Amino acid sequence: VKNIDGYAGQIEMGSGELVGILGHLDVVPEGDGWSVPPYGGIIQDEKIYGRGALDDKGPTLAVLYAMKAIRDANLPLVKTVRLILGTDEESGWTDMKYYKGKEEIPQFGFAPDAEFPLIHAEKGILHLEFSCELPYMEHIVEISAGERANIVPDLCRMKLRFLEIDLLRSMLEEYSFPDGVSARIEEVPGEELRLVFSGVSAHGSLPQNGKNAAIYALKFLQALPLNLEEKDLLNWVLNYPGQGVNGEGFGIAFSDEPSGKLSLNLGILTFKDNKFSLVIDIRYPVTFSEDQILKPIRNKLFRQSMRLNIRSSQHPHYVPKDSPFIQSLLDAYSLVTGLKPYAFAIGGGTYAKVLPQGVAFGPVLPGEPEVIHCPDEYISINNLILTTKVYTQAILNLALDPNYKS
């Protein structure tokens, strides 16, 4: 085992060419809506609940126990199997940047941080921040929604002023929200009115699976008697970053055969003291470039004073489906599970991108619910055991001495 200056850790066994397995120990904020303590590790109904149970501590421990099973069985390896433990996957990947400067990077391997059977292509990822200072807003005092760009916000809070509370109440009663979306007046201190809008959270790579509280809040605001500056701001947000989940507003609704459609999530929205900030998460197809995404967006900024900042950028990643390495992993999956093996593409970004020939491999099985980044995140005990068996067989397929006879 080795601690790489607190940025990452590694656990390895065997000798020879490196096989890399990259898990991460950091998590997104727990958020609201939990029915159990989010860090309690509660076991109910044959499931382990907790933030990180599925993303990504549970699967990372599955790899560790797979390695232990191989060691305890005294099976001979002809490669070095290295489990790398990251600490910043959900934010800026500073851990992997540091790690690359200190340690040898395996040329191939997998990240146990997505779905089975196997993910061979990952879209490019851009986190973009739009910010500017605005003139005095007569009615909008504050807006706050979202904590991370890669999560669909399930809450949006706002403070309004110089509006009749009876008007707001009647409009809320008459306004038609979709299932899963609601709004309420929280309190009325002095001249300010406080509203809270609730939606449905989801992973930012799958914004269609959520209901963005910020977008529904702004749509409701549009119906209020606001001034021109306020309406212009709402119109820009809803017509460009807030229109559709595939980049339709910015004219970047691209797609390709290996990886499918571009996705766009409005992840963070803040307005306070006349300072506006909005952060979006874009996942773009593997055959497109970052410049092809940024150019149309730069042409649609709210005003000349608006700043566009690239918070983070990951280029697309692609390993051909017919790679012998990929076939070894798929063979392990089908042998253990009895399920059909196939490779596919996702919009999520995993540590597979750290390796030249890296793929994402489990732990979510086909047909299982996607609870990553959601309240009551869990991994079933049956899945954890099955996943450990798959990873054990995968390591053996990649690193077992071919001359070994059982």
Amino acid, single-letter form, for residue 274: N
CA 206 to the chain's CA centroid: 8
Cross-strand bridge partners of residue 380:
47
| Spatial distance between the Cα atoms of 215 and 213, rounded to a whole number of angstroms | 6
CB-based contact 19:359 (threshold 8 Å): no
264 in Cβ contact with 240 (< 8 Å):
no
Residues annotated catalytic, as ranges: 26, 89
Helix (H), strand (E) at residue 239: helix 228-239
- The helix/strand/coil state of 367 is coil
Of residues 196, 200, 158, the one with CA closest to residue 179: 200
Token code pair at residue 346? 């996702």
Rounded Cα distance between 215 and 143, Å, is: 12
Pairwise CA distance, residues 304 & 302, whole Å: 7
The crossing angle, in degrees rounded to 10, of helices 381-399 and 324-337 is 140
Paired sense of beta strands 42-44 and 47-49, if any = antiparallel
What would the two tokens of residue 149 be?
Answer: 């760009």
Rounded CA separation 11/93 (Å): 19
